[in-house]
Amino acid sequence: MKEHALHIVLHEPEIPQNTGNIARTCAAIGATLHLIEPLGFSVDERAVRRAGLDYWDQVSVKTYASWEVFSSSQEDRCHDWFSRAYCLTTKGYHNYTEPSYPEMTWLIFGKETKGLPMEIIDRAANRAIRIPMRADSRSLNLSNAVAVCGFEVFRQWGWPGLALTRYGDNT
């Protein structure tokens, strides 16, 4: 059986409530959350913890000083990690449901006000993906986008490690 691992990467997130909500989603699906500085807040802020509720101890959160530090640490873990990375952007070339996500996947999201830098998007041009929406809509809330895409990856994988029964239902 393949070991599946989803990595949610937030490049310079700005809003603590979004990051808290994303941490809660990561806890629910077992994804690792990577935060690339500078952050628009401290992870100790009450707003982040309140949004994540009591889930902080159930999620692996890693913080990096820069994109370069993050990228080199991932290279140490998986030499071809960037070929397994997908950039979520309104400038994406493909629908987020099109890729067949590999058993180890990185989903990279940009900051709320500016998105991802073009140099990261350009490097992953064939893996720049988007969530379809009306043409007059600017973008989804970051935490909603992470949830939509994270659950799509798990749907494609067949929901490994996720309970498909109701809470407390043992049948």
Binding residue positions for S-adenosyl-L-methionine: 88, 110, 131, 139
CA distance 98 to 95: 6
CA distance 75 to 112: 26
Q: Is the dihedral of CA 160, 162, 165, 170 positive or negative?
A: positive
Query: What are 108's strand-pairing partners?
Result: 9, 87
Tokens representing 108?
Answer: 């990279």
Give me the helices (H) in 87-141, please. 118-123
- Rg of the chain, C-alpha, whole Å: 16
